[in-house]
Structure 1
Amino acid sequence: METSPTKILSFHLSFLLLFLAITRRGASVFATSDTRVARVQCNGSIAECNADLEMLMESDVSRRFLQSKKYISPGALKRDQAVCNSGAKGEAYSKSDDCLPPESNHYNRGCSKIYRCRDGS
């Protein structure tokens, strides 16, 4: 009596699925029973009962660090300094020798020193 390769393969697959189902269910039962036991045995405050879990939680500082921007925005620079190369993302601010803008010829508005106004105000 010979068995075909498909019957052997189907037997192995069904055995594997049954094994995975049993181990998955067993793992969930153990996890829930452990947490129940831990809760029953702890009579202290919430911080005392969860002291071992505290270091596993993400801290506020690490979240702020990950949310921070990775470049300097033009608004973060000093007011009396020109932004070189338009402050493009990822480019150096001092790429060229002279990064000041061309002189401004407007007579009727205030002007910063960095824009080289005629009246020098």
Structure 2
Amino acid sequence: MTRFYKSLAWTAGVLAVIVLLYGWIAAKRALLVAHENLIVDSYPIPDPTRFPSVGKIELGEKVQVLSCDDLKSYSAIHVRLKGGREGYVIKGEFTLDLSPFWSAVDSPISFSCPPAWH
């Protein structure tokens, strides 16, 4: 029976290391940096007649990125504005500043913002 528990402990240890390595590699904190004035939509579908905008991001402003959603033909970046309102940036000129998850960047940890998007 002790052999069973040793095998179980080794398996759990190996799985824990794999999960930690995945988090170390994939988890990032991201800030969106606007290179022009950006409209922030309330829904990730660009239809201003059905979904009004919730605000805008000024040139050079940095906002928290909550997630990055790949919606087949375009990408929607879920952001939190300075006042706490949330919305989606769908088009415009911007970059994503990605930092490791242990950094002091004031943004939630995201697994969905690939490095190729910045």
Normalising by structure 1, we get a TM-score of 0.27
* Higher-helix-fraction structure: 1
Normalising by structure 2, we get a TM-score of 0.28
* Higher-strand-fraction structure: 2
- Structure scoring higher RCO (CA < 8 A, sep ≥ 6) equals 2
Query: Rg bigger for which structure?
Result: 1
